[in-house]
Structure 1
Amino acid sequence: MLDDTDRRILRQMQAEPGAPAADLADRAGVTASTLARRLDRLRADGILRGVRGVIHWPALGYAVEVSLRITLDKTQPRAFDAFIEAARRVPEVLEIQTFLGQVDVRLSVIARDMAHYQQLYRDHILTLPHMTDIEALMHVARVKADESLPI
């Protein structure tokens, strides 16, 4: 289990993941050696899975985001596996989620513009295997996009 020191360290890492170790240790109220030891343990325990760069994709020219809700042919034994394997190969698919219920899969897709999206849809999305239904939801605004946990 996490103790208060671990929680302080994780809170500080979430607040500023690129901070130098000395600053992080100071803000968490621990020594640099304690910080290093705790981070090693948190990584070994699979709690801290890494630090990553998050790219603001609209700054790179991607202006369209679409959420696709897809129903698969569940009479096919490997429908989920084959679909997910193929969807992973589409670079513009940022996220794949699976569900129980009427909708089986949700894809988050980005494109430079509507013409690019139309080309992706025709050439890549519609060729994905085992789809029986697809619904496109055009993204309008991201109201909350916070990956920080209440630690």
Structure 2
Amino acid sequence: MSKSLDRYERQILNLLQADASLSTAAIAAQVGLSPSPCWRRIDRLEREGYIRSRVALVDRAKVGLRAQIFAQIKLNAHGRANLDEFTAAIRDFPEVLECYVLMGSVDFLLRIVAEDIEAYEKFFFEQLSQIPGVQEVNSTVALSEIKATTRLPIPGAEGRHTR
């Protein structure tokens, strides 16, 4: 974490991760600032990219995306030379929520959502496996979700508002 963040800014980030709809006044009260300095800190955090965006977290099952799949992708030697093509293709698939480059026996790890296994099968055969350079795809279906969070454990964010 950047040393340029003071304890108020760390607390502000922690609060916004829990509820981005909080008003500046509510945040200010919880961290012990008046609204104006609190707003300036939030504005700085946004301008400097600490806060990338404020979003609503949608329940995927309630919108009909009941299947969650983790796919390990291995590219062939030719595919590795065209990483830009692979990453561009992945970015265009709304089903792919996350994509990570890995070190080890596979090249990428993807988190994918679909309405059901049949929808994933269609996505797999018609899109994912058709990307040039894909040698192997190992898919693992998540049976249930034990923990899922977007909240980062910000060092030094302990304050009056705990959890």
TM-score by length of 1: 0.90
Using the aligned pairs only, state the percent identity.
28
Q: Deviations over 1:41-77 (max 9, x none)?
A: 1122222222112111111111111111011123456
Q: Which moved more, 1:70-79 or 1:89-98?
A: 70-79
Residue number in structure 2 paired with 1:90:
93
* Corresponding residue for residue 161 of structure 2: none
Could you say what secondary structure the match of 1:59 adopts?
Answer: coil
Q: Which runs of 5+ in 2 are unaligned?
A: 155-163
Q: Provide the rounded CA distance (Å) in 2 between the counterparts of 1:135 and 1:76.
A: 17
> In structure 2, what is the Cα distance between the partners aligned to 1:127 and 1:117?
14
Are 2:44 and 1:41 aligned? yes
Q: 1:18 aligns with which of 10, 18, 21?
A: 21
Per the alignment, residue 61 of structure 1 pairs with 64
| Alpha-carbon distance in structure 2 between the residues aligned to 1:7 and 1:38 | 10
Deviations 1:23-44 (A, max 9, x none): 1111121111011111111122
Q: Check conservation: 1:12, 1:28, Cα contact below 8 A.
A: no
Change in Cα spacing, 1:83 to 1:49, as seen in structure 2 (3 Å) is: same
Which residue of the partner structure matches residue 73 of structure 1? 76
- 8 Å CA contact 2:100–2:108 kept in 1: the answer is yes
**Residue number among 114, 122, 132 corresponding to 1:129 in the alignment:** 132
Report the number of matched residues: 151
Q: Which moved more, 1:15-24 or 1:64-73?
A: 15-24
Structure number with greater CO (CA < 8 Å, separation at least 6) is 2
Partners in 2 of 1:9 and 1:110 — Cα distance?
31
Runs of 5+ unmatched residues, structure 1: none
C-alpha displacement at 1:117, in angstroms? 1.5
- Give SS of 2:121's match: helix
Aligned match for 1:103, one of 103, 106, 127: 106
Aligned residue for 1:13, secondary structure, equals: helix
Give the Cα–Cα distance (whole angstroms) in 2 for the partners of residues 59 and 110 of structure 1: 13
Counterpart residue type for residue 100 of structure 1 = M
Structure 2 vs 1, CA of residues 11 and 89 (structure 1 numbering), >3 Å: closer, same or farther?
A: closer
Does the CA contact (< 8 Å) of 2:75 and 2:133 recur in 1? yes
Equivalent in the alignment of 2:10? 7
Q: What RMSD, in angstroms, separates the aligned Cα atoms of the two structures?
A: 1.6
Structure 1 match to 2:160? none
